[in-house]
Amino acid sequence: MQNRVIRRCHQIVVGALLLAPLADVSDGVATPALPVGAMAQAATPTVIADYRRRLKAYEEARAAFEEDAGAYWNAIAEKRRIRNAKRRNRQPVTLDDYVLVRPPLYDGPKRPVNPEPEEERSPRRRKSIPVVADFLRAAAEQFQFAPQRPKSEVDFKRAYARVARAYGLTKEQAVRVYSFETGGNGNHDMQSGLSTSRPGSRAISTAIGYNQLLTTNSVELLAEQGDDILRALGEKAARLSGPQRAAAERKIAMVKRMVAYARSAPDTWSAHQKLADTPKGWAIHALVLDIDVGPLLQTHKLLTSIIFARNKGYARPLTAAELEMMNLTGDGTGLDMVTMPQAMRERVPTANFFQRRGYERNPVAIRYDTVAKLLAVTDARMDSNSAKPGARELAAAF
């Protein structure tokens, strides 16, 4: 089976390189459906027979593809298990521990349109994605809290630069990650998919801010880094007096309640994800917009990746593109790519690190299909976006 997969495979998902969702690349675009009346007139025995013949050809082609694709992605999962075991046992990972061919992509006949009338199906309901207004409303209702918003965007950038620099992030890392995540011009409340320049645009995820944190990121960071965040807020409050200090202490009290909620579940991504999809989880996400807490959350998101790499023995400073890989794909998966020698990066398909569904729906992942190409296009996008006004403003804040 594996030999057949290798023969027929000629073609990564990048979690957050989701730039433009692809329509279903597996089937292509079906022939436009005829009106019911026209279909009824066209549904002659000859037309029906032709439809059934083409449907059979499609189903056979899809079945053959699914057999090969299933074997390929099973091989990807098995190689990943082998690499994880080797790393646990401190054994070297080699080229043989990766699948070195590209995933198969369906290029057979398209599914034909049934010429006979079919029972109409109710359209699948799209799950509603909360937006910034929802996070703010949840914060007010659940914790009687309103994030302290900046008077201007440059104020938020300066706050972020101060925190990032104090925790050891370099200007290059912070600015280039910002440039990649926001396109070089994003505001502190920018949400993925929404744009003031595109009327009618819709949120495609809950990701907001300079590093595009998801609701689950906010809950997890508060659960794991809550003590340090509260310490930093306490140190700032100690330098204030009068009404400003009173306001800072009220904020600390609210954040303590949020930390307690974030820690009310096991410290796992799936448990944090469940908390994040509640009104209290939405309220926690509003902290990203706060001029004191937002920079701390976003700095910790990048810092945890740097610390993870360092603890795994990776002493060289991470480039911004390498840090972004860990930011996008998770620390373990990202480090797998980051620690790979250049010669291996040139040969290893990025499909080795991700799941089938995401790969097949991502044109960027299909086009930039090795680790080297993916890092190169990430660097190129950072280069281009770093010249934009928002990125230059953040660089000046350092």
CA 155 to chain centre: 27
Does the pLDDT of residue 26 top 60, yes or no? no
84 backbone φψ class: left, alpha, beta (φ>0; ψ -120 to 50): alpha
Please indicate whether residue 332 or residue 51 has the higher confidence score (pLDDT): 51
Max avg pLDDT among 40-44, 375-379, 393-397: 393-397
Residues 208 and 288 sit within 8 Å (Cβ to Cβ): yes
How far apart, in whole angstroms, are the C-alpha atoms of residue 214 and residue 191?
Answer: 10
Count Cα neighbours of 177 within 13 Å in the Cβ-side half-sphere.
30
Bridge partners of 208, per DSSP, are: 191, 213
What are the CA-CA distances from residue 259 to residues 192, 220, 238 (Å)? Answer: 25, 10, 21
pLDDT band for position 195 (cuts 50, 70, 90):
confident
CB 351 within 8 A of CB 12: yes
Per-residue pLDDT tens for 227-265?
Answer: 999 999 999 999 999 999 999 999 999 999 999 999 999
CA distances from 49 to 44, 45, 52 (A): 9, 6, 5
Question: What's the CA angle centered on 223, arms 218 and 228, to 5 degrees?
Answer: 95
Q: How many CA atoms lie within 13 A of 35 on its CB side?
A: 2
Say if pTM beats, i.e. exceeds, 0.85: no
pLDDT reported for residue 124: 72
